Amino acid sequence: MHSRFLSAFLALGALALLAAAPVDSFAKQQAEEVTTQEYLEPGADTPAKQEAEDPTAKDTPEGDANFELPVQDVVGMAKPWQLYFQEGVTPQKKGIEGLSNYAHIIAILITVFVLGLLAYVCIRFRKSANPVPSKVSHNTLIEVIWTVVPILILVSIAIPTLRLHFGTLHNLPEADVNLKIVGHQWYWSYEYPDDGIAFDSNLKKKDELKEGEPYLLAVDNPVVLPVNKNIRVQVTGADVIHSWTIPSFGVKQDTVPGRLNETWFRAEKEGIYYGQCSELCGKFHGFMPIQVHIVSEEVYAKWLASAKLKFAANRYGTEMVASK
């Protein structure tokens, strides 16, 4: 009898708690919102209020949401039977090509020199031509030469390497456009903080490809950037390490969770450029390509206006933040 009474009492209590909980948490949430708002800007209008007063204030650019990017040549893509690099269109990539050529010339000269020496020794000092071998085992001058000359060669490679590394690759000039890139398993998301645009970029499936678009390289939402402008790129990872790479730009930047890495580039030729994630990041590592359109300033302005409409739901400070 006692236990039945007790369980009925408990059930009633639980019901009361259930009924009270939502009301209580809602009231709490509202109270919190008010205090946060007041704490940030005492007496200020809420964003919702401002929008209601002036709907055309700042967030409705005059753009065409259906704006299509003009057809462009594909510049940055590997071709069948291609030798050497993909075409370089940034100062970094040109510097990398120059350094690579220089190091290769030195390597070829050394290889030819050593091969010549070996051939000379084999022929000149063969048994029939040189029956009594020399007993010389030390020659100070030669030893100094074969120590000093390689040091000089290495220094002559190190100097342009360091100049390229600190002078071009990591010496950020003043940025015209900022681009934030987040690597996800397995897609990229891009943010244009200057313009409040944010969107995801996913691989196009085979049946989504337009004519001529390469499978495993084409994406649904490509990155669009202006030609001859300094683009500051900040990258981070959402889950594991990825690497944002465009061979034609000479850019390969690891996206590390919890870290903001930075690089820059200035593309000097309009066109379409492809790249791929270059850090093994899981089972769909090969399915998160990168597509960049380098366009004229006028096209870029039109694209920006259209992107603000197209990706309006991802706008900064509103839904995008709230949904995370």
Q: Determine the number of helices (DSSP H) and then strands (DSSP E) in the chain.
A: 6, 11
- Footprint of Cu ion on 91-130 (CB under 5 A): none
- Footprint of Cu ion on 215-244 (CB under 5 A): 242
Which one, of 272, 267, 310, 314, lies nearest residue 289 by Cα?
272
277 binds Cu ion (CB under 5 A): yes
Of 168 and 245, nearer to Cu ion (C-beta) is 245
CB of 204 to Cu ion, least distance (A): 17
Strands 223-226 and 74-76: unpaired
What is the C-alpha separation between 216 and 246, in angstroms, rounded? 14
290 binds Cu ion (CB under 5 A): no
Of 245 and 248, nearer to Cu ion (C-beta) is 245
Piece in contact with Cu ion (CB under 5 A), picked from 90-98, 167-175, 276-284, 297-305 = 276-284
Of 277 and 307, nearer to Cu ion (C-beta) is 277
Piece in contact with Cu ion (CB under 5 A), picked from 101-109, 165-173, 191-199, 272-280 = 272-280
- Select the residue interacting with Cu ion from 281, 294, 299, 304 (CB under 5 A): 281
What is the C-alpha separation between 183 and 150, in angstroms, rounded? 42
Window 125-144: contact mask with Cu ion (x via CB under 5 A):
--------------------
**Three-class DSSP category at 133:** coil
CB of 243 to Cu ion, least distance (A): 7
Of 277 and 290, nearer to Cu ion (C-beta) is 277
Q: Are 169 and 186 in contact (CB under 8 A)?
A: no
CB of 184 to Cu ion, least distance (A): 8
- Footprint of Cu ion on 32-71 (CB under 5 A): none
CB of 255 to Cu ion, least distance (A): 8
Q: Are 183 and 242 in contact (CB under 8 A)?
A: yes
Of 233 and 299, nearer to Cu ion (C-beta) is 233
- Cβ atoms within 10 Å, residue 53: 9
CB of 254 to Cu ion, least distance (A): 10
CB of 231 to Cu ion, least distance (A): 21
What is the C-alpha separation between 267 and 296, in angstroms, rounded? 11
What is the C-alpha separation between 16 and 29, in angstroms, rounded? 20
User: Greatest CA separation found in the chain?
Assistant: 120
Q: How many residues bind Cu ion (CB under 5 A)?
A: 3
DSSP element (H, E) containing 116? helix 91-124
Window 239-268: contact mask with Cu ion (x via CB under 5 A):
---x--------------------------
Helical packing angle, 140-164 and 91-124, nearest 10°:
160
The distance of Cα 46 from the centroid of its chain, to the nearest Å, equals 36
Q: Which contacts qualify for 31-37: CB closer than 8 Å, 24 or more apart?
A: none
CB of 281 to Cu ion, least distance (A): 3
**Three-class DSSP category at 91:** helix
Of 232 and 242, nearer to Cu ion (C-beta) is 242
> Given CA atoms 73, 78, 82, 83 in this order, what sign does their dihedral have?
positive
**Three-class DSSP category at 283:** coil
Of 242 and 293, nearer to Cu ion (C-beta) is 242
310 binds Cu ion (CB under 5 A): no
CB of 307 to Cu ion, least distance (A): 24
CB of 112 to Cu ion, least distance (A): 41
Per CB under 5 A, residues contacting Cu ion are: 242, 277, 281
